Amino acid sequence: MKTQRALLSITAALVAATLGADAPGAEESSTVLSPQALQEMVQVEAEIDRIEAHAIERLAVPPDNQVQQVELLGKLMLYDKQLSVNRNEACAFCHTPETGFTGPVSELNRTTGSYPGSVRTRFSNRKPQSHAYAPLSPVLHFNPGQGDLVGGNFWDMRATGRRLGNPAAEQAEGPPTNPVEMGLPDIACAVYRASQRPYRALFESVWGRQAFAIAWPRDVEQVCARPGPPPAGAPMPVHLGSLDRGRAGATFDQMAQSIAGYEASAEVTSFTSKFDAVLAGKAQFTTQEQAGYDLFRGKAQCNACHRDGGPGEDPLFTDFTASNIGTPANPRLPYYAENRPDALGYVANPAGSSFIDGGVGNFLTKGQLLSQPSAVDQRWVKLAPGNQARIQVPTLRNVDKRPYPAFVKAYMHNGYFTSLKAIVHFYNTRDVLLRCQSHDVGESTTCWPAPESTDNMNTSRVGRLSLSDAEEDAIVSFMQTLTDGFMAVN
């Protein structure tokens, strides 16, 4: 009965959002979430509420050391939907344990690829990344020896970590004020909402009583209930004095650092896969898994970018660089239809159907970024042409983690692929098979759509690998050994 009520509540909210699109000057969103997607969303939200309630219980007897206190704070904030503009979307809505801390709604992964934000008619232009292992990314830097930018967080590396010394913390600062994600109009709203939550006392114990000692204006509730972006003439609509504004900024940083602390904890970044067990001498690969690993390191050239470690190097299965592998555009993304004003007059994607994701190059030129990045080092602007359309190499850890076998996961920055087999086949045959249009009957078997962008496309390790079908299957089998949970967390 509770689930049915929740489903009706979400459906009513979506109907209200759609009706609101009939306001003068607004257009109705073309995206309608299916009943199956809505039902799965209800289940995900119920699980998030359950995890949050359990974490809140721990506040009665909090950990006795500061590291674990920071981790608990980070977990509480990641599962706190009150930190979104409509108090309906936690960070965890896009990052749950059962999927390796990436998108937890199978039907959305299969259809839209990206996820709705707190304003349920707004969708992002990219699929959710995993935040497991993200804190181990280095601060973004340019390596002249290899001619690459290395590090940062987000698909376009825009959470550089150069301000806070921690890319994961700077990544955590993006979604709260992203109009198509959590949607708050001002970072001060996240601080204000946190000041009202059960974890306030623990936060003040860890970070200091000054954290929430802010003179909030009388209209703060009203201001923070209106989805961003803020009006052009009022980029910080919560009107605070200079000292209170500085205090809010510092507290927002500490909230983000707490979240990064939890993401770095053994609960999230655990190194407990079968691969790790094999390294520790506690398990053995099957014949197929070993064959896949040999191909991964050899003929298939996967290890060149998805590194399995080296001297003094954790096996993180990424080299933290960026590459354009020629992924086709994903026509299922609702973002392409977000080129008209919504009920609040916001246009997420002025380019409409002609939008092309510029990846790292767009970050370096500040082109169409939905949430604020770290400041661009002006010495890097000249690198933009060589980084256009390049996307950060993701870790392969937990790449196949799913709550049940039939669960669909979305892959690559735009969610174009929905199976590991398809990805391996693409790497193998991108430049061998014919070109075709999306939805062609032979798509992904006898032909591939054209790349979204051919700028800086990787032609040395992708496209013509001469792998057999059995070899493709073996590589998939090996990647499945990277799922955490094979060993217990100490």
Nearest C-alpha neighbor of 167 from the set 177, 156, 176: 156
Alpha helices in 228-285 (DSSP H): 242-263, 274-279
Q: 74-83: b or e for each residue (b if 16 or more CB lie within 10 Å)?
A: bbbbbbbbeb
Alpha helices in 231-336 (DSSP H): 242-263, 274-279, 287-297
Could you read off the pLDDT of 91-104 as tens digits, one per residue?
999 999 999 999 99
**How many Å separate Cα 298 from the centre of its chain?**
30
Nearest C-alpha neighbor of 158 from the set 177, 176, 139: 139
The proportion of the chain whose per-residue pLDDT surpasses 90, expressed as a percent, equals 89
The CB-based long-range contact list for 429-437 (8 Å cut-off, 24+ gap) reads 429/463, 429/464, 429/465, 430/325, 430/326, 430/462, 430/463, 430/464, 431/459, 431/463, 431/464, 432/463, 432/464
Measured in Å, how far apart are the chain's first and last C-alpha atoms? 38
Q: What is the Cα gyration radius of the chain?
A: 22
Burial of 398 (0-12, 13-18, 19+ CB in 10 A): buried
Q: 226-242: b or e for each residue (b if 16 or more CB lie within 10 Å)?
A: bbbbbeeeeeebbbbee
211: Cβ–Cβ under 8 A, 6 or more apart, which residues? Answer: 203, 204, 247, 250, 251, 254
Q: How many CA atoms lie within 13 A of 449 on its CB side?
A: 15
Q: What is the pLDDT of residue 312?
A: 85
Q: How many CA atoms lie within 13 A of 474 on its CB side?
A: 22
What number of other Cβ atoms are within 10 A of residue 489's Cβ? Answer: 11
Q: From CA 256, how far away is CA 37, in angstroms rounded?
A: 30
Ramachandran region, residue 101 (left: φ > 0; alpha: ψ -120 to 50; beta: rest) = left
Q: From CA 267, how far away is CA 287, in angstroms rounded?
A: 30
Could you read off the pLDDT of 256-301 as tens digits, one per residue?
999 999 999 999 999 999 999 999 999 999 999 999 999 999 999 9
- 454 residue type, one letter: T
Helix axis angle, 187-195 to 242-263, nearest 10°: 80
pTM over 0.75: yes
Q: What is the pLDDT of residue 205?
A: 98
Burial of 218 (0-12, 13-18, 19+ CB in 10 A): exposed
Tokens of 108: 């959305």
State whether residue 289 is helix, strand or coil: helix
Q: What is the pLDDT of residue 11?
A: 42
Weakly modelled stretches of the chain, pLDDT under 70:
1-31, 490
What number of other Cβ atoms are within 10 A of residue 294's Cβ? Answer: 16
What number of other Cβ atoms are within 10 A of residue 57's Cβ? Answer: 10
What number of other Cβ atoms are within 10 A of residue 444's Cβ? Answer: 21
Alpha helices in 124-234 (DSSP H): 167-172, 187-195, 200-207, 220-224
Report cis status (omega within 30 of 0) of the bond before 394. no
Burial of 187 (0-12, 13-18, 19+ CB in 10 A): buried
Q: What is the pLDDT of residue 14?
A: 43
Q: What is the pLDDT of residue 349?
A: 97
What number of other Cβ atoms are within 10 A of residue 447's Cβ? Answer: 15
